[in-house]
């Protein structure tokens, strides 16, 4: 970082607040808007009352997700009601515009104005970086809910994507006896190469009863009636799959199986880290666009 | 375990409830008294309304600590007011009597009756086993309180006893950059051999500002005014030292340093595991006394 | 494994010998040919003097690589000169025929006879499984060659494929301070998520001087004159890239840099493990073809 | 290190050569004698032809062990025949004199001259530091000798002293399934706390057959006829116990059990690291004597 840039961080939750702080600490000029005035007082960091000056920004960071359920720019910390189009109308192609979870309509709205929305959430390195606080958040939940230690607990991680492998490694490091469930032989070979057990998803019935803790990371309905019924009493299920989730919650309630469906953990358990991860990704985008930071 | 014994578990907290269950699951006949009727329904496990039959027990397990602040047998889950002497009057030298944290007066009271109180809490293997849930509990607190992940956090573990080494290993396994502080060169050599940094206790001033998390395990006032003032803003201190503790709490409050003084973690965060640890230790005592279990 | 099959293991090196033994230990009938008569005496395992009976086999396993430099079936432990075509002429489409590193001409030769050569070496799970002994072999070389311990050594792993990640994890577990070099931001995010440093390949010059050990796993000329000249005196380079290798060996010799170019480690450092890995992969092939094993 | 001292390093093996180099690299003036002229050319490092000037030294470092089998100062790299007494006659109480493995007669010889021999080898921190290269050396031997990977191997570490715990941790980190054998319940509790299995020494017969690798670190005859006969074919035994060793070698030869008795590994596998460990220990001695370094 040897060159000071002008950033605007607009809307979003606590992660965006921490992002703005992290950018300011790196020596950039940072303006925030629609963040409810939150954030530490730092040199170079200004909470703006309006968008005046945004056209001077080198880089504009829109929230994650960019749009809320109401179709407006997501601004949960603030009453601000600003449409994406209003926002984009103030920007120019010279500026780097970043946003999280860019939908096709949003991308089109930008394109019509000759702009590009760089989706930081779509980048693999942010997904990996986010998997770290997600994995820690899952450990925290497991520690809070289980009356046994993770040390010595038998834990099953369903799915071996980014999150699955970080989770399996951390559980194992804390002394849990870890197995990984996947349909794929290469995933099971990875489990073996790291010293974990392997189960084949789709053949879980009959094996689940051995586990104290089952954490689902796969975007599929992996725990239905049969699987839930096989769990031993007191077993804990943590579902990290985004909607519609991997667990039949009704059936779980009927059977008395405790399920925690935990979404959006990074912003909840480690907003400062989550903000830094977004910052790093935005630096990568700027780097690839050859904007010196 | 090939021989069924008759156990009485008398008084104590949730750990004793779980201990009784664990003994029953191993096939022993278990009677509980003064546990508030808590515990699962299990074959071989009976909550007794009075002490009738205790003279038949092969092994009697008194609470941890054996005596409460009122000088009576500790029974926080129950209204029962029973003195140690009343209890001991019903027992005979043939029986193995175990208790936790046996004070000299308690030992004398037993001796006068020709009895021996085997202190399970004084045994090194229980202290080690208890360090596991304590370490996990400390991680849980750190995860709950810090707005950053342990991954990447700079953590200082003060003291390198049982707890210090398990904590350092777990923090490191979760990706924290760990240093250990001790006065002793051999402890610092251990830190080095495990790949952690080392700081010399007593020379901490000036170095503490680098840490996001400081966990004290040493039974000494290691964090006084000077050290607390050196901590960086937002740093978290967890004190695991038993009374009087290792942190000057008044000074910390004055300086706005967040300190969590966490005591008796095993029974709080993992009562089932804590109960099993006591069970294993009682088996060791029986083994050494050549009582077949 | 509940069903005994008839296997022929034909040609190859020590891995094939161990493969045959592992199959026999699992209860199958196993015939070997062209393995120089090597192998333990085991029930169900027969070294055959000729190919008589191969037409009865349920599964025929050809070597890895299937063909030697002379274009004949690879048989380094034996004088046997057998062409692939001669071999295939004795087989029928009913049989499962496995071979390692199947070349297009070899595949065509099979196809012309209505046969399929199942390439076990092309399967991802074998590649992963083989990365384990390769990583251990690299550690062994580093331990043998370096006058310092891996503990505390600064190690750079170039490339973050299967081998890179297993190597980085093992080096780190032994106490080395590990960095990973890659061109890709997602690889660097993985390094960060596992707690290792990151370097960008292509910008290594000027950074290499910090390392005691550099292990290349990338199939590219990553260490040319400039990079080699930057290494510090006494640094060790291990190149695990297959031909043409990732290091300019001439330049290294001129500069006096010690380079170990280590190929085919699994068969050399752990033939029993390598044989078991092939066995598991063949079972997967049979499983997918719905041959019950 | 802010103060340059005058060191003499006299006699010893490759470790002493590396020690002298390490001291010189830290900026001290270093004279060597009776090291066969070995060592790199470094500023401040002089190989002396005689002891002239030794009386000016701030610190004199004698070898490890101080005396050879012939009763003279140990000088295996050199023909020099110098008695301890001759050496001591040249020194004064003002100087710090360090030596390794100081015998009572040697200590008396010093005392008679008003001198103190500070035994660096007797210090706990050096013993711990030396356990690191010893553990790595044992891993290297196991990798070289076993036809399977350590990953997945079943390994038993006998004894849970300094070396046992570092070995168990490293084997486990490389993917071996590790058990620790000890007579002591507290050691077994440590094994459990780190996630390893436990066996009771003295009751090993009948259990040993499960292990691919047995490493003895205990100074006792733990593997006699009965235990050796129980080992499975192809199992490897590494004995790290100093003389008389922990394995009945005659019986092992008779039974065809492969035993590697590996002594003095630090100097053999990592002389540079071993030299640095001695240097650090000498600094600690100087620190405690309040000699500023």
List of chain D residues whose C-beta atoms are within 8 Å of the C-beta of residue B188: 125
Residues belonging to chain B with any Cβ–Cβ distance to chain D shorter than 8 Å: 123-126, 128-129, 131-132, 166, 169, 185-186, 188-190, 192-194, 284
User: Measured between alpha carbons, how far is residue B169 from residues B136, B155, B174 in Å?
Assistant: 11, 11, 9
Which residues, 6 or more positions from C264, have their beta carbon under 8 angstroms from its beta carbon? none
pLDDT band at B3 (very low <50, low <70, confident <90, very high): confident
Chain A contact probe: residue of C121, C128, C182, C289 with most A CBs at under 10 A? C128
Find out whether the peptide bond into C244 is cis, omega within 30 degrees of 0. yes
d(CA C275, CA C280): 9
- Residue B20's pLDDT is what? 96
What one-character DSSP code corresponds to residue C148? S
Chain A contact probe: residue of C126, C185, C191 with most A CBs at under 10 A? C185
- Residue B208 above 50 pLDDT? yes
Single out the residue of A164, A162, A127, A101 nearest to residue A266, CA to CA: A127
Percentage with pLDDT > 90 across chain C: 86
- Residue C293's pLDDT is what? 59
Contact across the interface for B185 and D124, Cβ inside 8 Å: yes
Single out the residue of B59, A36, B211, C107 nearest to residue A9, CA to CA: A36
d(CA A244, CA A138): 18
pTM of the model: 0.90
- Residue A201's pLDDT is what? 82
Q: How far is CA B254 from the centre of its chain?
A: 30
pLDDT below 50 — which residues of chain A? Answer: 1-2
The residues spanned by each domain of chain C are 6-122+270-288, 131-262
d(CA C239, CA C223): 10
d(CA D231, CA D253): 13
d(CA B24, CA B31): 9
- Residue B205's pLDDT is what? 76
- Residue D291 above 90 pLDDT? no
d(CA C238, CA B284): 50
CB pairs under 8 A between A and D: 14
- Residue A50's pLDDT is what? 92
The domain made up of C131-262 is a member of CATH 3.40.50.720 = yes
Residues belonging to chain C with any Cβ–Cβ distance to chain D shorter than 8 Å: 18, 132-133, 136-137, 139-140, 143-144, 146-152, 170, 173-175, 269-273
- Residue C1's pLDDT is what? 44
Residue of A nearest to C287 (CA): A185
Residues belonging to chain A with any Cβ–Cβ distance to chain D shorter than 8 Å: 151-152, 175, 192-195
Phi, psi (5° rounding) for residue D162?
-55, -50
Kindly state which CATH superfamily the domain B126-262 is placed in.
NAD(P)-binding Rossmann-like Domain (3.40.50.720)
How much is the mean pLDDT over chain B? 93
d(CA D188, CA D184): 6
User: Measured between alpha carbons, how far is residue D54 from residues B78, C106, C158, D32 in Å?
Assistant: 77, 76, 48, 10
- Residue B202 above 80 pLDDT? no
Q: Which residue has the higher pLDDT, D207 or D122?
A: D122
- Residue C28 above 60 pLDDT? yes
Residue of C nearest to A288 (CA): C185
CB pairs under 8 A between A and C: 45
- Residue B144 above 90 pLDDT? yes
d(CA B137, CA B145): 12
Residues belonging to chain B with any Cβ–Cβ distance to chain A shorter than 8 Å: 18, 132-133, 136-137, 139-140, 143-144, 146-152, 170, 173-175, 269-273
List of chain B residues whose C-beta atoms are within 8 Å of the C-beta of residue D166: 193
Contact across the interface for A169 and C194, Cβ inside 8 Å: yes
- Residue D1's pLDDT is what? 44
Tokens (6 digits) for B137: 């509990």
Asked if the domains at B6-122+270-288 and B126-262 fall in one CATH topology, the answer is yes
- Residue D243 above 80 pLDDT? yes
- Residue B19's pLDDT is what? 97
Tokens (6 digits) for C40: 């333990």
Q: Is the dihedral of CA C216, C221, C226, C229 positive or negative?
A: positive
List of chain A residues whose C-beta atoms are within 8 Å of the C-beta of residue D193: 151, 175
- Residue D293 above 70 pLDDT? no
- Among candidates C124, C166, C186 on the partner chain, residue whose Cβ is nearest the Cβ of A186: C124
Tokens (6 digits) for A19: 């992002």
Give the number of residues written for chain D: 293
CATH topology for the D130-262 domain: Rossmann fold (3.40.50)
d(CA A269, CA D213): 43
CB pairs under 8 A between A and B: 74
Contact across the interface for D273 and C143, Cβ inside 8 Å: no
Kindly state which CATH superfamily the domain C6-122+270-288 is placed in.
NAD(P)-binding Rossmann-like Domain (3.40.50.720)
- Residue B246 above 80 pLDDT? yes
* Architecture of the domain whose range is A127-262: 3-Layer(aba) Sandwich (3.40)
The residue-averaged pLDDT of D195-203 equals 88
- Residue A292's pLDDT is what? 63
Q: Where are the alpha helices (DSSP H) in D28-123?
A: 84-88, 104-112
Task: Give tens-digit pLDDT for D26-37.
Answer: 999 999 999 988
The residue-averaged pLDDT of C32-54 equals 92
- Residue A1's pLDDT is what? 44
């Amino acid at each position: 970082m040897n060159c000071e840039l002008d950033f605007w961080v607009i809307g979003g939750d606590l992660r965006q607040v921490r992002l703005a702080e992290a950018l300011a600490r790196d020596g950039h000029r940072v303006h925030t808007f629609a963040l409810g005035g939150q954030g530490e007082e730092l040199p170079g960091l200004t909470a703006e009352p309006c968008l005046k000056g945004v056209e001077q920004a080198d880089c504009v960071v829109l929230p994650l997700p960019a749009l809320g359920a109401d179709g407006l720019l997501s601004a949960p910390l603030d009453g601000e009601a600003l449409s994406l189009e209003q926002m984009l109308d103030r920007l120019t192609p010279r500026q780097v515009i970043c946003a999280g979870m860019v939908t096709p309509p949003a991308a089109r709205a930008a394109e019509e104005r000759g702009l590009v929305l760089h989706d930081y959430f779509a980048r693999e390195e942010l997904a990996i970086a986010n998997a770290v606080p997600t994995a820690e958040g899952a450990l925290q939940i497991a520690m809070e809910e289980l009356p046994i230690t993770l040390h010595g607990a038998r834990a099953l991680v369903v799915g071996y994507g980014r999150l699955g492998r970080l989770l399996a490694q951390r559980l194992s490091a804390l002394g849990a006896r870890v197995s990984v469930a996947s349909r794929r032989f290469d995933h099971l070979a990875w489990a073996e190469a790291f010293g974990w057990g392997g189960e084949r998803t789709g053949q879980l019935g009959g094996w689940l009863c051995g586990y104290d803790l089952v954490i689902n990371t796969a975007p599929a309905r992996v725990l239905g009636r049969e699987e839930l019924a096989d769990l031993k009493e007191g077993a804990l299920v943590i579902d990290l799959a985004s909607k519609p989730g991997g667990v039949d919650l009704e059936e779980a309630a009927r059977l008395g199986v405790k399920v925690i469906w935990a979404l959006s953990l990074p912003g909840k358990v480690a907003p400062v880290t989550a903000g830094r991860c977004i910052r790093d990704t935005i630096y990568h985008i700027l780097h690839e666009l050859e904007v010196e930071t």
